[in-house]
Amino acid sequence: MTSEEMTRKVKELSGQNPYLCMQCGLCSASCTGIGVMDLLPRQVMRFLQLGKEEILKNRSIWMCTTCLICTARCPRGIDIARVMEALRTINLRKGNDILAPEDVPAELLAEIPQMALTSGFRKLSA
Amino acid sequence: MAAENKMVSIYIMGKQYEVPYGVTIMKAMEYAGYRFIRGCGCRGGFCGACGTVYRKPDSFRLKVGLACATMVEDGMHLTQIPFYPANRASYKLEELSPSLGTLLQHYPEVTRCLGCNQCTRICPQELSVMDYIAAAQRGDIEKTAHQSFDCIMCGLCASRCPAEIVQYNVGILARRLYGRHIAPRAAHLAERVGEIKAGKFNDELSRLMQMSKEELQRRYEARDIEQ
Amino acid sequence: MGIPYFPGCTLHVKAKGLDDSTRATLAALGLELTELPEWTCCGTAFPLAQDNYMGMVASARILAKAAKEGDGRLVTVCSFCYNVLKRVNFALKNNDEARTKLNAYLEENYNGELRVLHPLELLRDDLGFDSLKTRVDRKLKGMKVACYYGCMLSRPAKEMEFGEPENPALMEEFVKAVGAEPVDFPYKTKCCGSYQVLNNYDLVAGRVKDILKAARVRDSEVIITSCPLCQFNLDWLQDRFADEDKSFSKIPVLYFTQLLGIALEISVAKLGLDNHYVDPKPLLQAG
Ligand code: SF4
Ligand code: SF4
Ligand code: SF4
Ligand code: SF4
Ligand code: FES
């Protein structure tokens, strides 16, 4: 995917304009995934602004919990969670996913509420 | 024109054939030259070996039927889908507990169901497949077992599932769990088994064993039969 | 016929305590619920890609069928169910493309007329918190409660209409009405890590630790929630934390309806208090 294609697709899938971002970093400071992401949401936005398509391969986009804290706080009104989902969706639609049912440990399956699987598969599996 | 002489045009995997009106899809395919090694079993609508999908010229909808039990119609486009690759968990039934955890451990993918209803739409047994998967997803083994009871394992539901669930294998696991661990035991059966084990019928059986063939035959023919 | 009620998959077994306590407490307060006749999973997670209508189909069907049942309301208590049903309902009402596509696919004609309600809203609007106050025992007096909304109840604010996105107050009002004392809890709408429990243990463990710590700093005796996944994440990890750190003190995590049940003196057996990892029973003696 070329960088133009990625930018167009992200805009289309998310309905958001990454160029509105002023790089304030509020989303990063608020993010649930802060301890485990290599690139925090502000940096994801910057990669998009610069058209760097390697962001599609970055694992940070899979660490998002769609908690919408970033979305609630962004002073530029960007729904960042939708941008993160757009990046996942581009991957998922090509069959690139990170969560396979058979990878979930049996002990966890015995304990976990099903809704964790339902939501996890919807966000992280193709 | 007498119905028995009438021919209809059907398309098998895209190729046109003239076949007699009033025969089943299976007979029509044989008439057209197909020989079934797989994709055919009971010829009576029970074994589920002959799932077939077709479309008719007047509708965009995909239709479905068992080849042995569905009549050909003019203009039908069809193909058999006698088998669809399916993963099947292996387990020792006696060692399983009839729980949500068991269902999820064997088929975690049931939680991927999108609720698209395509499985219910296609099921030739007219089962509410989506609903039995929904019941499995919530851990209602009894309901899954009952709602999937008439499944003939034709596999058509799995061929349609965007979530890649193999519905009928989930159904049979639920029926097995239900039958082995949940369904109340039949008291009269246990009683009779007890009687047999205690030797109540031993004398009668050994008398039968010693009878001549002619005597057995005479008694068989003279037995009470419900009218 | 009571108010149409969608329990959601998890409440059938795993979070049965939430289902049982919701039905029992609301019934005791004269708000009878009637489970929808046939229902599937709601899908749990609202799809955030603009063209992902397939991800809305399950919720849309549930809503369209529920609209034929009762009096124009649908009650659901699990935070995920509530979030996705409410958001899909919003889409059916306000998004022409979603409405057209979903109705065409489902062969329905449903336009988002239902009101999707959380039991907290029922208690506030149908019963009234003042009236609730008169119904409860003094059992919970002085009990310090951390109200944990998690990420699902109040966001996005425009669609959920559950108060301020990061500072809702409904659960605190409820806690006051049942005679307990809500603590000031800045982590109330932080996320517990959610479904990442399948994918990234560290993420969830880190978030849960923060939330538990914030609750303990305010001397909370119990955390309440309406989400089975929050409940699970906050509850099951505590054993592990206690093994790792001897000074860790556990804190029970209850469904708000269980707290209500205790206040209404509903028998403990009906509240599903046995299925928690951190035993909440000592709380019952406190009062
Ligand atoms: S929605 Fe995703 S990116 Fe935004 S704060 Fe939550 S975890 Fe971080
Ligand atoms: S909060 Fe909004 S404006 Fe600030 S960095 Fe994040 S996306 Fe950009
Ligand atoms: S449930 Fe599936 S396998 Fe069973 S009869 Fe129906 S379509 Fe065939
Ligand atoms: S076809 Fe698959 S995804 Fe669709 S309703 Fe049936 S089980 Fe669910
Ligand atoms: S051959 Fe057995 S069902 Fe058709």
Predicted local distance difference test score (pLDDT) of residue B4: 57
Chain A within 8 Å of C9 (Cβ-Cβ)? Answer: yes
Q: Which atom of ligand 4 is nearest to the CA of B117?
A: 5
Chain A within 8 Å of C49 (Cβ-Cβ)? Answer: yes
Which residue in the set B100, B101, B108 is minimally distant from A101, CB to CB?
B108
The CA–CA distances, whole Å, from C260 to C57, C174, C215, C224, C264 equal 34, 9, 20, 10, 6
DSSP E strand stretches across chain A: none
Two structure tokens written together for B199:
């030797």
Instruction: Assign C287 a pLDDT band (cuts: 50, 70, 90).
Output: very low
Q: Are residues B62 and B7 in the same domain?
A: yes
In three-state secondary structure terms, C225 is: strand
Rounded Cα–Cα distance for residues C277 and B150 (Å): 40
Tell me whether residue B210 is in a domain.
no
Q: What is the β-pairing status of strands C33-35 and B76-80? A: unpaired
Predicted local distance difference test score (pLDDT) of residue B226: 74
The CATH number given to whatever domain includes residue B35 is 3.10.20.30
Nearest CA to ligand 5 atom 3: B45
Q: How many domains does chain B contain in total?
A: 2
Q: Model ipTM?
A: 0.96
Tell me whether residue B40 is in a domain.
yes
Predicted local distance difference test score (pLDDT) of residue A51: 96
Predicted local distance difference test score (pLDDT) of residue B224: 86
Cβ distance A24 to A87 under 8 Å?
no
From the list C22, C76, C35, the residue with the least C-alpha distance to C264 is C22
Lining ligand 1 with CB less than 6 A are A 30-33, 41, 64-70, 80-81, 84
Q: Are residues B61 and B139 in the same domain?
A: no
Instruction: Assign B87 a pLDDT band (cuts: 50, 70, 90).
Output: confident
Domain covering C3-119 in this structure, CATH number: 1.20.1050.140
CATH topology match: C3-119 vs C134-286 = no
**To test the ligand 3 pocket, which listed residue (B83, B121, B144, B154) has its Cβ within 8 A of the most ligand atoms?**
B154
Tell me whether residue B164 is in a domain.
yes
Instruction: Flag if A65 and C195 touch (Cβ within 8 Å).
Output: yes
Class at the top of the CATH hierarchy for domain C134-286: alpha beta
**pLDDT tens, residue by residue, B167-182:** 999 999 999 999 999 9
Among the three residues B55, B80, B105, which one is the final residue of a domain in this structure? B80
DSSP E strand stretches across chain B: 7-12, 15-20, 51-55, 63-66, 76-80
Instruction: Flag if A122 and C43 touch (Cβ within 8 Å).
Output: yes
* Cβ-based burial of B19 (10 A; exposed 0-12, middle 13-18, buried ≥19): buried
Helix C57-66 vs helix C79-94: angle between axes, to the nearest 10 degrees? 80
Two structure tokens written together for B39:
């994709």
**pLDDT tens, residue by residue, A70-93:** 999 999 999 999 999 999 999 999
Predicted local distance difference test score (pLDDT) of residue B1: 46
Q: Are residues B97 and B178 in the same domain?
A: yes
How far apart are the CA of B87 and the centre of ligand 4, in A? 16
Tell me whether residue B189 is in a domain.
no
Q: What are the residue boundaries of the structural domains of chain C, listed by start? A: 3-119, 134-286
Cβ distance A3 to C174 under 8 Å?
no
Q: Are residues B16 and B53 in the same domain?
A: yes
Chain C within 8 Å of B115 (Cβ-Cβ)? Answer: yes
Residues 6+ apart with CB under 8 A from B217: none
Q: Are residues B109 and B175 in the same domain?
A: yes
**To test the ligand 3 pocket, which listed residue (B157, B165, B172) has its Cβ within 8 A of the most ligand atoms?**
B157
Q: Dihedrals φ, ψ of A15, to 5°?
A: 70, 15
Tokens 């599609």 correspond to what residue?
A: A56
Which residue ranges form the domains of chain A, and what is each CATH number?
A: 3-124 (1.10.1060)
**pLDDT tens, residue by residue, C7-43:** 999 999 999 999 999 999 999 999 999 999 999 999 9
Residues in chain A, total: 126
Tell me whether residue B85 is in a domain.
no
Q: Dihedrals φ, ψ of C74, to 5°?
A: -140, 120
Q: Which of C38-47, C98-107, C267-276 shows the lowest mean pLDDT across its residues?
A: C267-276
Predicted local distance difference test score (pLDDT) of residue C286: 55
**pLDDT tens, residue by residue, A4-21:** 999 999 999 999 999 999
Among the three residues B18, B46, B80, which one is the final residue of a domain in this structure? B80
| pTM over 0.90, yes/no | yes
Q: Which chain C positions have a beta carbon within 8 Å of B105's beta carbon?
A: none
Residues 6+ apart with CB under 8 A from C41: A114, A118, B111, B113, B115, B134, B137, B138, C8, C9, C58
Rounded Cα–Cα distance for residues C224 and C205 (Å): 19
Q: Are residues B170 and B100 in the same domain?
A: yes
Residue B50: give the domain boundaries: 2-80
Rounded Cα–Cα distance for residues B20 and B72 (Å): 9
Tell me whether residue B197 is in a domain.
no
**pLDDT tens, residue by residue, C126-180:** 999 999 999 998 889 999 999 999 999 999 999 999 999 999 999 999 999 999 9
Chain B within 8 Å of A125 (Cβ-Cβ)? Answer: yes
Q: Are residues B101 and B178 in the same domain?
A: yes
Tell me whether residue B217 is in a domain.
no
Q: Are residues B105 and B165 in the same domain?
A: yes
